[in-house]
Structure 1
Amino acid sequence: MRVIIATRIYRPEPAAASLFLGCVSDALRAQGAEVEVLTAKPVPGQGEGSRGERIRTFPVLRDRNGYLRGYVQYMSFDIPLAFRLLITRRPDAIFVEPPPTTGAVVRVICALRRIPYVYDAADIWSDAAGYMGTASLAVRILRGIERFALRGARGIVTISQGVADRVRALGVHTPATVTGFGADTLIFRYAEAPVERVFLYAGTYTELHGADILIEAFARFSATHPGYRLRFIGNGSGQERMLQRAHELGIGGSVDFVDPVAPAELQPEFSRAVASLSTQFPEPGYRYAFTSKIYSSFAAGCPVIFAGPGPTGSFIEQASEEVEVGSAVAYDADAIADAMRARADAPLPAEGRRELASWTAAHHSMGAVGRRVAEVISVAARTRSRQR
């Protein structure tokens, strides 16, 4: 079996999607498949991403933070991808990662070449665009492109039942498999280290994440617990505004913004943090999204403070019945500050952190998720073989 993974983001670029797609590749190769990845050329200095798969990269337009985000940037990936898919040796199946424009390109080429594809619907992009204030005409166009990409797929994989239900509500009847999400436990694992006075936010922060509330919460926390630091590692919109607000509140010297780092460099940051932080803005109607970054924190033994609506909080509350994973609170600066005080006053001891990491490896390994996704791709590939 020969499979192509078409994605704008792949390891070694530090992101949850990169780790996920890499684990899918690993699982396919473990089944004996030949895997080729068509992806964007990474930012220099990020290291090597291949574990045996063939990675073909090509230059793309990135924003000033080095992130491939925005329609012009997406097109700089999608247009070359179309030509590459036309001339490459025909695969048995293609696995495609959003944005929807990439999915639409893959659908057109797959129709021309009679190739089945599987679409990764980790989120509904047109919903997210609408809630971020994008013009209504642009949202309608994106909705149409997204439906087009979803409907042409042989199968859809997604991380939660909420997203699967939303796909159905959009009038898409392509078979959808809920595979869940997890952590790359080959990278994120428990490592004994002295816990520092740091609260860590790792990953992308956009308007939809609502991470700016952490500045307000940390200021209130610092009034009773001076000497701690709030560290953001990643990229996104609003960094300048958040830093300005931190200075206005008198905590600018205690807030760090660090560029994205490789997952192997992020792991010790989790090991040393009192807790990691995760947020989701409580936009009405957009309550099915799951904050997958929490798994990497758990796998390193670092408890999480999550603020916001949706299934992430429910998951944390249910998991807390088995192991100490952290806490879920309302999207409110005072509630977050109180949770930070509780964690600072009673940090999770080494034994508890080790137990959390072990529990995550046993129940939420991305390797297991990768195998479930690989099976969906294999079914699509076998369907093509029978139709020859």
Structure 2
Amino acid sequence: MVSALADVGADVRVLTTSPPRSARRADDDPRVDVRRWPVLRNRSGYVRGYLPYLSFDLPLFFRVLFGRKADVYVCEPPPTTGFLLRVAAQLRRTPYVYYGADIWSDASAATGAPRIVLRVVRGLEQVALRGAHTVLVVSEGVRQRVTALAPDVPTSVVGHGVDLNTFAPDGPCVEEPVDIVYVGTASEWHGAGLAIEALSQVMGTDETVTAAFVGQGSEWDGLKRRVDELGLQSRIRFLPTVAAEEAAAWLRTARVSLATLAPGQGYDFAVPTKLYSSVAVGTPVAYAGPDPVRRLIIDEGLGAATHYEPAAYAQAIGSLLSETRGADEDLVRWAGENISSVAVAERAVQTIVRVARPGSVQARK
């Protein structure tokens, strides 16, 4: 989106975080002024929790309030950021666009957070949404939830996007490949523990199958413990979060990728976007969870999808293992037609420019 804004001549400033020391820093677009701010991170380098959020949000409030004025701001979650940006933007009498990648208060409910926490998060999110000139949303399901929380705010469905240059069928592969890979976050609402149970059944019938989990999340330690209990630690590996290029290599090398979504948590509309990255490199997805994702995978032929149940999921994984060899050109073609991040960014920019003050396309993200 930042690059697409620069493409239309916008003067773009990005106010973001300083990366963790362990991360390989990507090159910034030379046309864009990127301003980074140090934040609190947990031991894995992840920004998670209200104090880490505020370590960015509070300085951001003053950076917006006293920084060079923009014609429009674009704000990403968490809701604490949106709340404080709304206050600063109102003081500066400047509109902002909110990027609704998902609904944080619904995700918090899925984690079993205390009721008082849910009320606070819901209130902050409603304030952030209702103050926006427009909300960019990634799916129709998210749009419906935004409309429920902020009925009078316009929405624009831009879709999910994948960098098809990075996540492509051709490129480096990992030196020690596995048959099955899970790449990305494993939080409570993902319910990735089901994948471990299903893999134990798959591996019980085929002693040659191997798997890897690459990423992080609140469920990560629990997944490791369960693998140890099952005695599968020699066949299921765990690796920390990697750069996008390396994530693509893991997906590209595997025969099947995994994606799960625990149903019945008020978050069934969510999309585990890891499945799109897999499709882009041509690796089919084994998904367990509710519609609409299950129906999408079945209707579009993106892999195998089933209800959230270990035996059925094991069968779905096994069916893909018996069929797949090499990148699936049909999957790659579908990705190019449906989930290009370039197309998503262009749709977002059209909305952002319309919100900006007449006669100008200056913007700050």
Smaller-chain TM-score range?
over 0.9
2:14 to 34, 37, 41: 37
**SS at 2:185 equivalent:** coil
Aligned position for 1:347: 324
1:304 deviates by: 0.7
Query: Which stretch has the larger CA shift, 195-204 or 69-78?
Result: 195-204
1:26 deviates by: 1.3
Residue-by-residue CA offset, 1:136-160 (whole Å, 9 max, x unaligned): 1111111111110000001001111
Distance 1:361 1:277 in 2: 21
Matched, 1:165 2:140: no
1:190 to 150, 162, 169: 169
Return the letter of the residue paired with 1:205.
A
Is residue 189–residue 267 contact of structure 2 (8 Å, CA) maintained in 1?
Answer: no
**Counterparts of residues 233-382 of structure 1 (less than 5 Å):** 233-320=214-301, 325-350=302-327, 353-382=328-357
Is residue 105–residue 122 contact of structure 2 (8 Å, CA) maintained in 1?
Answer: yes
**Counterparts of residues 202-221 of structure 1 (less than 5 Å):** 202-221=183-202
Is residue 150–residue 172 contact of structure 1 (8 Å, CA) maintained in 2?
Answer: no
1:228 deviates by: 1.9
1:194 deviates by: 8.1
**SS at 2:356 equivalent:** helix
Structure 1 residues 234, 372: closer, same or farther in 2, change over 3 A? same
Is residue 225–residue 341 contact of structure 1 (8 Å, CA) maintained in 2?
Answer: no
Structure 1 residues 247, 155: closer, same or farther in 2, change over 3 A? same
Matched, 1:147 2:140: no
Return the letter of the residue paired with 1:363.
N
Query: Which stretch has the larger CA shift, 202-211 or 285-294?
Result: 285-294
Kindly tell me the number of residue pairs found equivalent between the two proteins.
357
**SS at 2:216 equivalent:** coil
Distance 1:105 1:49 in 2: 29
1:326 deviates by: 0.6
Aligned position for 1:46: 24
Residue-by-residue CA offset, 1:242-298 (whole Å, 9 max, x unaligned): 111111112121111111111111111111101110010112432211222211111
- Identity over aligned residues, as a percent? 39
Q: With structure 2 as the length reference, what TM-score do the two structures score? A: 0.93
Distance 2:359 2:290 in 1: 41
Aligned position for 1:7: none
1:171 deviates by: 4.1
**SS at 1:371 equivalent:** helix
Distance 1:349 1:263 in 2: 20
Distance 1:314 1:26 in 2: 33
1:227 deviates by: 2.0
1:123 deviates by: 1.2
Residue-by-residue CA offset, 1:88-133 (whole Å, 9 max, x unaligned): 2111111100000000011000000011100011111111112211
CA RMSD of aligned residues (A): 1.8
Return the letter of the residue paired with 1:340.
I
Q: With structure 1 as the length reference, what TM-score do the two structures score? A: 0.88
Query: Which stretch has the larger CA shift, 359-368 or 190-199?
Result: 190-199
Is residue 303–residue 348 contact of structure 1 (8 Å, CA) maintained in 2?
Answer: no
Is residue 178–residue 212 contact of structure 2 (8 Å, CA) maintained in 1?
Answer: no
Distance 1:245 1:100 in 2: 33
Q: Gapped runs of 5+ residues in structure 2?
A: none
Is residue 79–residue 124 contact of structure 2 (8 Å, CA) maintained in 1?
Answer: yes
Return the letter of the residue paired with 1:66.
G
Query: Which stretch has the larger CA shift, 162-171 or 119-128?
Result: 162-171
Distance 1:349 1:265 in 2: 18
**SS at 2:287 equivalent:** strand
